Amino acid sequence: MRIVVKVGTSTLAHKTGNLNIKRVEELCKVLSDLKNAGHEIVLVSSGAIGMGLGKLSLVERPDDIPTKQAAAAVGQCELMYTYDKLFSEYNHTVAQILLTGDDVKNAERHRNFQNTVSRLLELGALPVINENDSVATDEIVIGDNDTLGAIVAQSVGADLVVILSDIDGLYTADPRNDENAELLSVVERIDESIMALAGGSGSNLGTGGMKTKITAAEIAVGAGIDLVITNGNNPSVLYDIVDGNSFVGTKFKA
């Protein structure tokens, strides 16, 4: 299977913005193992801004764009350094690709991106993709990595997208303040009632929330690709998802 795994900042970093070492080590181990089993993995990783803020000791998320872009420039290095180091332990080679909205809208640049990813996969490398936050402005921004994950999946003809989040999946209400909220394990069709379940952004380090995940699901499902939302706190859940076993999460069926 060709699998796009999107991992959010809240999975990769502690609330301080510093790296969640145990989590990231587990993630890299499971992804390496799935590659060893013959699957092709493309990782869409957030965390540049969050980790940059941690490294620069900026505890509050800044509002101004230059500070966020500076943080992304610092954090992207930290991210790739970490992935390179951890995947190397399992003999896997990572490759960094940074995209903006323009790169996927412009036919030639989009084709170049597709060719690069497919060559990297042929060569056995593991592409790690993020938005090029340091140069993206309002006009060209994709804006969130859930959407980026779905766009990447569509571009590279993936079989499956898995969004690793800080929440188990899509609930009938916000489980953080409604104890009767129920997890939806399968969504057959994204209609008005599903759209209505999407609230705003979740944590203060990432930018997503359920809304962007449902947008991502619409893109993936529209392209004939299943999309799963599950909790990133236990990366081994990826084995169950890939093997078709039951798991805690929400599967949007293509």
Q: Write the interaction track for ligand GLU spanning residues 177-216; mark x where CB under 6 A is met and - where it is not.
A: -----------------------------xxx--------
Nearer to ligand GLU, 145 or 242 (CB): 145
Among 17, 50, 101, 249, binds ligand GLU (CB under 6 A): 50
Nearer to ligand GLU, 131 or 226 (CB): 131
Tell the smallest beta-carbon distance from residue 162 to ligand GLU (Å).
Answer: 15
- CB-based contacts of 116-120 (< 8 A; 24+ apart in sequence): 117/42, 117/152, 117/155, 117/156, 118/156, 120/95
Tell me the CA distances in angstroms from 90 to 35, 85, 249, one per residue in order. Answer: 10, 9, 28
Nearer to ligand GLU, 48 or 162 (CB): 48
Q: Is 9 in the site for ligand GLU (CB under 6 A)?
A: yes
Nearer to ligand GLU, 8 or 249 (CB): 8
Matching residue, tokens 């980026």: 148
Q: Is 20 in the site for ligand GLU (CB under 6 A)?
A: no
Whether the Cβ atoms of residue 21 and residue 82 lie closer than 8 Å to each other: no
Q: Is 155 in the site for ligand GLU (CB under 6 A)?
A: no
Q: Is 40 in the site for ligand GLU (CB under 6 A)?
A: no
Tell me the three state secondary structure of residue 160: strand
Nearer to ligand GLU, 146 or 242 (CB): 146
Residues 6 or more apart whose CB falls under 8 angstroms from that of 231 comprise: 164, 165, 166, 167, 168, 169, 237, 248, 249
Among 184, 102, 200, 188, CA closest to 151: 102
Whether the Cβ atoms of residue 7 and residue 44 lie closer than 8 Å to each other: yes
Q: Is 48 in the site for ligand GLU (CB under 6 A)?
A: yes
How many CB atoms within 10 Å of residue 196?
9
User: Applying CB under 6 A, which part among 54-62, 103-111, 126-134, 240-248 lies near ligand GLU?
Assistant: 126-134
Among 11, 20, 32, 46, binds ligand GLU (CB under 6 A): 46
| CA separation for the pair 107, 169 (Å, rounded) | 34
Query: With CB under 6 A, what is the number of residues at the site for ligand GLU?
Result: 16
Tokens of 124: 């056995």
Q: Is 145 in the site for ligand GLU (CB under 6 A)?
A: yes
Among 38, 37, 60, CA closest to 50: 60
- Pick out residues in 56-75 that bind ligand GLU (CB under 6 A): 72
Binding residues vs ligand GLU (CB under 6 A) = 8-9, 46-50, 72, 130-131, 133, 144-145, 206-208
